[in-house]
Structure formats: C-alpha cells, structure tokens
Amino acid sequence: MVDAESFIDEATEEISEKVGDAHAIIALSGGVDSSVAAALAYRAIGDQLTPVYVDTGLMRKGETEGIRETFDYMDSLRVVEAQERFLDALAGVTDPEEKRKVIGEQFIREFEREARDTDADYLVQGTIYPDRIESEGNIKSHHNVGGLPDVVDFEGIVEPVRDLYKDEVREVARALDLEEVVSERMPFPGPGLAVRVVGEVTAEKVEVAREACHVVEEELEEYDPWQAFAAVVGKGTGVKGDNRVHGWIVAVRSVESRDGMTARAQELSWETLQRIQSRITGQNDNVARVVYDVTHKPPATIEYE
Ligand code: XMP
C-alpha cells in the first residue's frame, strides 16, 4: 500500500518539474483514476491544466452534474456536449470491439479539437497499473490507453498514477479530499453504457441501462461491491396489464474484485433481488424481465461486451 501523503508530494513535484511553465490537458472521465490524476496535476500547475470532460451521452445518471460540482474549483474545466455525435457515430454498429473503436475515435476527435484549441504541450493521463497490463496483453482495447498521444504532437505525457492499483488510487483520492462520490466511485468502463447494451447502441437502450444501473447502485450500496450495474442484454416476451409485450431483458451484475482482472459474483438476498426487479420493471413499461448474473470472471468478463 502506498503512503498517500508522500505519494502526493512526490507526484506533485514531479508534475511541476516536468511541465514547468507549459500547458497541459487531461481528459476527465469522472472516474477515480482521471480525477486523481487531474487533482494532482491541478495542485502542481493550477490553470496551466485544462481538464476536459466529454459528455458522450453514455455516462451514468447524474454524472455530468457531479463532475461540474466536484471540479467547480478548477476554473479551466471544459465540458463538451457530444451526446448526439456519439450516437450518430454508433448507429448500426453491433460488434463489441468495433463499438470500442468507434467510441475511441469519436473521443479522440472531440479531445483533439480541445487540445489544439488550448495549445497544450503535455498530456496528463489517469492510466493505472492494471490498464497497462491488460493493454500490453491485448486482452481488450482500452480507449484510455494509447490513441490520445498520437493525435496531437505533445511534448510529453504525464501519468502520475501509472504504478498504482485501484485501491491505492482511492487511498490517494481520500488524502486529496476528493469527494466521496469520486473516491468511493465504482470503476466505470471508458466506453460507458455502450458496453452495457448488447448489440446496437440506441438512445432507448442506453436510457434503460442508465436508469437500471442507478437502481442497482442504490440498492446494492450496502453490499459494497467492486462493481454493480445493469445491462440491456436482449428482448423477451412479457405481460404488462392485459397485453403481451416484447420488452427488454435487463441483466443485473454485482461482483467482488481487487483489480478487475478476476472477479466473483456476489451472493445477494432474495429480498434485495426482488426489490431490484420490481423497481426496474416498474420504472419502464418496456422492460419485460430482470435476471441476475451468477458467473464469476473467468469465465465471464465483468462487463457484457
Ligand atoms: P472486463 O469486462 O474486461 O472488465 O472484465 C474489467 C474492468 O475493466 C473495465 N472495463 C473497461 N475500462 N475501458 C475501460 O477504461 C474499457 O474499454 C473497458 N472495458 C471494461 C470494467 O468496467 C471492469 O472494471
């Protein structure tokens, strides 16, 4: 485990030395990794840092508002409203890796524009140790590793948390007084709700996933999971009132893990499962059924795509 206080001092000093009087930019995702990297960099160089938050429309409920509040103290924060552009780019795309690619490319386009506009010399990234391992092993393409450095000719890249595990990043977040919504936030995939919607990403499926994820997070807080969420996995028949409907199937997933590389499905009480089921089917007439995923990782991954 890291000594958070000395880590913060050392990281801040290293960033100041590296960046000097130049300008830096960071893509803020709202997750704990990029938030800690941004907070460290802001401590080191203040408004020489431009944190850019791209609202892809694939974020969790209340995420954008939360970002604005948490980082209100950073005068240089930019929020890019890109929801429609992402949905347009994803229309007709069904392959999981293709989805990641489309999202990654759209993200780069949005970010590139901001980077050029701010004349940034350095790129700050919230890459953590497991990201590097999974990317090097080619297990999946992470849009937060690689890609960004190539779009603009940055003088250098700063990755202040590159040697830390997630629990160590949280420790640093607490020491930095980052609000609980950030420091205790569950990991959320870079491609957002797009990997919690099996098949084509549509505004309707994303909305079902977003509302269902919110219910699951609220109901499972007491179980303290590594990640708990819901995904739209397909369609099935159901009855609503007197009508037979063809509605969405929502899968609920809750796992324990240390670093996301392996995970165990959590055992939940029947009452909890039924409460989740009743809230999710109750909030949207187009949801026909709710199922609970009992698969560990391996053999399953944590996300659905
Ligand atoms: P999987 O689904 O591969 O996920 O078991 C392991 C951990 O990584 C997160 N995840 C991602 N994070 N970009 C990310 O930044 C991605 O493309 C991505 N895919 C999965 C996932 O939420 C879990 O914490």
pLDDT, one tens digit per residue, over 97-134 is 999 999 999 999 999 999 999 999 999 999 999 888 87
The helix or strand, by DSSP H or E, that contains position 5, with its residue range, turns out to be helix 4-19
CA of 191 to the centre of ligand 1 (A): 9
Q: Is 96's C-beta closer than 6 angstroms to any atom of ligand 1?
A: no
What ipTM was assigned to the predicted interfaces of this complex? 0.98
Over residues 245-275, the pLDDT tens digits come to: 999 999 999 999 988 999 999 999 999 999 9
Report the atom number in ligand 1 closest to the C-alpha of 141. 17
Residue 69 has pLDDT above 80, yes or no: yes
Three-state DSSP string of 189-242: CCCHHHHHECCCCCHHHHHHHHHHHHHHHHHCHHHCCCEEEEEEEEEEEEEECC
At 90, list the tokens. Answer: 């994803």
Q: Is 196's C-beta closer than 6 angstroms to any atom of ligand 1?
A: no
- The amino acid present at 123, given as its one-letter code, is L
Q: How many CB atoms sit inside 10 A of residue 242's CB?
A: 5
Report the atom number in ligand 1 closest to the C-alpha of 139. 3
Share the mean pLDDT of the chain: 93
Name the residue of 60, 140, 169 to mutate for ligand 1: max ligand atoms within 8 A of Cβ: 140
Residues of the chain by 3-state class (helix, strand, coil), percent to 5: 45, 20, 35
This prediction has a pTM of: 0.89
